Amino acid sequence: MSLVEADGARFIIDSGILFPYEDFFDLNYLIPDMSDLGKIDRIIITHGHEDHIGAIAHFRDNYPDVPIHTPKFAALLMAKKLREAGHAQKFEIYKDLDEIKLTDSLSVFPVRVDHSIPDTHGLLICDKKSDTALIYASDFKVDNIKSPSLTAAAKRFSTFTHRVALFDSTNMTSGQDKTLSEDELYEDLKTVIEESSGRVFLTAFASNVDRIQTVNKICSELRRPMVMIGRSMKFYTQTAAEEGYLKEYSKIHYDWGEVLPDQKNLVCLVSGCQGDFKSATRRIITDEDSSLILNETDTFIFSSKTIPGNEKKLSLLENKLSNRGVRVIKPGKYKIHASGHACKEDLKLMYQLFKPTHVIPIHGESTFLDAHIEFAKGLLKDINCYRLLNFRGFEIEKNGEVHIFQLDQLDPILIHGKGIEIERSALSERRKMACNGVIFVSLNLKSQKYFIDMRGLPKKMTDRKEQLENLVKVHLNGKKFRGTEDLRVNIRRFCQEHLGYKPVTLVQEV
Ligand SMILES: [Zn+2]
Ligand SMILES: [Zn+2]
């Protein structure tokens, strides 16, 4: 989520989520804190990836009436989120190079770009008064630099004195020069599927409609039934098919329940390419679904990259596959995955086309931004590069000078369950319970009765329940009961002695 302000107008670009780190206990996602954004006139969505639209319902909670400008495909994806949250599904649908006019001086022109989800746009932001234009493309790759959209945008961009490029940094350290185009995958994917005499399971990012279309095309040519497995895979493919992105889809797709499980020619598209805990990919590989047990005639294709942090989860699953004798195919030997983000060569083409005066890399880890700046400096003469981190803003003066400033750092809001915020304190309680287990003690001082329950503790501790009971008894029978807190501290001390750590302990009078 970014905020742009010019000529008295303020608009937001995208409203995305961040996926939690491993140790966040099943937390669904993180959203930006929108409580202090002030007046917002519009929100402009660039494309339908979760890191760009995932928090749209939360944006609506904060801004019920602000118009949402969006391309069609992202609108379809957002409609579901808004409907589930009880909001109206009203959008201002834009098309390539439409003008979104905010004031007499300030206009935004969406610019069609290639990415890994259909209908993705960069934004050309033009402010006549300050003679400044921004080309904002957080997610793109270049399949065709001569596309009419890019050419037209670059032409308009060139009429401004101050020209700022905010481009994707995702692949700055990937080591690859040029991002593959989706078309380049067809050959190898077809070979791998054709070579498989048994069932083929292929996992990919469910939102990667182009990949699904590639597989769809191959299945159609090879006359193999395509089976959709997993909630998100079904949702994205259905949405894409309804919009005409998947040709022949209706003729060849099935649900798992509609095919014979052992049918050798099945090509199953499975969601969960990052091996997430509840995903279809993981369920299948760990035999959780008794109707689908993999065997040595099967092939499992990972048509995706591993997002940093997921390496362990995925290598565990790959080992399980290999123990089972399943043929595992990953990108490398075969061209079966193309990134949706620009590599150096793509960026070079864009810089040569747009000829910016200022470069401010975006969309990437800090080290990627640094690498991007170094790359841009080596490429372009007389440019000003700035490094912009989270919660930093930049301001362009009329003379083209740039000031970077610090914004109030608001922690992201943690979301779990039905889009509900969970406080950090509650999460830290969860962590303590999960790491150390829990002991509950209920006391009735009058009747001298007590009840002890232990959860998540080792047998060595539950075997000592009698000792723990004695400890409680001593406290109850003591001449002067010194309160529940005193007992709690003593139980924890007892645990420390026997376990080496202290479980969460709750002592209450009933
Ligand atoms: Zn994206
Ligand atoms: Zn993104």
Same domain, 308 and 248: yes
Total domains, the chain:
3
From ligand 2's centre to the CA of 138, what distance in Å? 6
CA neighbor of 415 nearest in space, from 79, 104, 56: 56
From ligand 2's centre to the CA of 34, what distance in Å? 19
pLDDT at 480: 65
Confidence of residue 314 (pLDDT cuts 50, 70, 90): very high
Confidence of residue 106 (pLDDT cuts 50, 70, 90): very high
Edge-to-edge strands, sheet with 449-455: 449-455, 438-444, 504-509
Confidence of residue 422 (pLDDT cuts 50, 70, 90): very high
Same domain, 114 and 18: yes
Please state, rounded to an integer, the average pLDDT across all residues of the chain. Answer: 93
d(CA 356, CA 74): 29
Q: Containing H/E element for 332?
A: none
> Among the three residues 416, 444, 469, which one is the final residue of a domain in this structure?
416
Judge whether 34 lies within some domain. yes
Write down the residue that tokens 């596959």 correspond to.
321
Q: What is the CATH classification number for the domain harbouring 60?
A: 3.60.15.10
From ligand 2's centre to the CA of 137, what distance in Å? 10
pLDDT at 22: 63
Query: pLDDT of 140-183, one tens digit each?
Result: 999 999 999 999 999 999 999 999 999 999 999 888 899 999 99
Same domain, 107 and 24: yes
Same domain, 228 and 365: no
Same domain, 349 and 320: no
Judge whether 267 lies within some domain. yes
Q: What is the CATH classification number for the domain harbouring 444?
A: 3.10.20.580
Domain span including residue 430 = 423-509
CB environment 14-26: b (16+ within 10 A), e (fewer): bbbbebbeeebee
Judge whether residue 481 has pLDDT over 90.
no
From ligand 2's centre to the CA of 170, what distance in Å? 9
> Among the three residues 329, 347, 366, which one is the final residue of a domain in this structure?
329
| Average confidence (pLDDT) over 404-427 | 90
Between 175 and 248, residue with greater pLDDT:
175
DSSP-derived letter for residue 251 is H
From ligand 1's centre to the CA of 198, what distance in Å? 34
Confidence of residue 479 (pLDDT cuts 50, 70, 90): low
pLDDT at 493: 93
Query: pLDDT of 329-351, one tens digit each?
Result: 999 899 999 999 999 999 999 99
Handedness of CA 148, 152, 158, 164 (dihedral sign): negative
Residue 107 C-alpha from the chain's centroid: 29
Judge whether 334 lies within some domain. no
Whose atoms come closest to the Cα of 14: which ligand? 2
Query: pLDDT of 297-308, one tens digit each?
Result: 999 999 999 988
Judge whether residue 291 has pLDDT over 90.
no
Confidence of residue 464 (pLDDT cuts 50, 70, 90): confident
Same domain, 41 and 169: yes
| Average confidence (pLDDT) over 119-132 | 96
Whose atoms come closest to the Cα of 340: which ligand? 1
Whose atoms come closest to the Cα of 1: which ligand? 2
From ligand 1's centre to the CA of 256, what distance in Å? 29
| Average confidence (pLDDT) over 231-249 | 89
Same domain, 325 and 469: no
Same domain, 161 and 217: no
d(CA 143, CA 497): 64
> Among the three residues 416, 438, 470, which one is the final residue of a domain in this structure?
416
From ligand 2's centre to the CA of 343, what distance in Å? 15
From ligand 2's centre to the CA of 140, what distance in Å? 9
> What single letter denotes the amino acid at residue 426?
A
d(CA 473, CA 450): 8
Q: Where do the H-state alpha helices sit in 169-310?
A: 186-195, 209-222, 231-242, 249-252, 280-285
Whose atoms come closest to the Cα of 113: which ligand? 1
* Predicted model pTM: 0.91
Q: What is the CATH classification number for the domain harbouring 230?
A: 3.40.50.10710
d(CA 203, CA 310): 15
Judge whether residue 420 has pLDDT over 70.
yes
Same domain, 16 and 153: yes
| Average confidence (pLDDT) over 76-97 | 96
Residue 254 has which token pair? 């099935």
Confidence of residue 23 (pLDDT cuts 50, 70, 90): low
From ligand 1's centre to the CA of 115, what distance in Å? 7
Same domain, 50 and 115: yes
Judge whether 188 lies within some domain. yes
From ligand 1's centre to the CA of 431, what distance in Å? 32
From ligand 1's centre to the CA of 88, what distance in Å? 25
From ligand 1's centre to the CA of 500, what distance in Å? 47
Query: pLDDT of 40-86, one tens digit each?
Result: 999 999 999 999 999 999 999 999 999 999 999 999 999 999 999 99
From ligand 1's centre to the CA of 51, what distance in Å? 7
Query: pLDDT of 190-202, one tens digit each?
Result: 999 999 999 999 9
From ligand 1's centre to the CA of 354, what distance in Å? 21
Same domain, 100 and 239: no
pLDDT at 251: 75
Judge whether 149 lies within some domain. yes
From ligand 2's centre to the CA of 370, what distance in Å? 18
Taking the C-alpha atoms of 215, 339, 75 and 416 in order, what is their torsion angle to the nearest 10 degrees? Answer: 100
Same domain, 219 and 251: yes
From ligand 1's centre to the CA of 92, what distance in Å? 20
d(CA 167, CA 344): 11
Would you call 383 helix, strand, or coil by DSSP?
Answer: coil
| Average confidence (pLDDT) over 418-438 | 91
pLDDT at 227: 94
From ligand 2's centre to the CA of 52, what distance in Å? 6
Whose atoms come closest to the Cα of 168: which ligand? 2
Whose atoms come closest to the Cα of 117: which ligand? 1
What pairing do the DSSP bridges indicate for beta strands 68-70 and 42-44? parallel
| Average confidence (pLDDT) over 364-383 | 92
d(CA 102, CA 41): 8
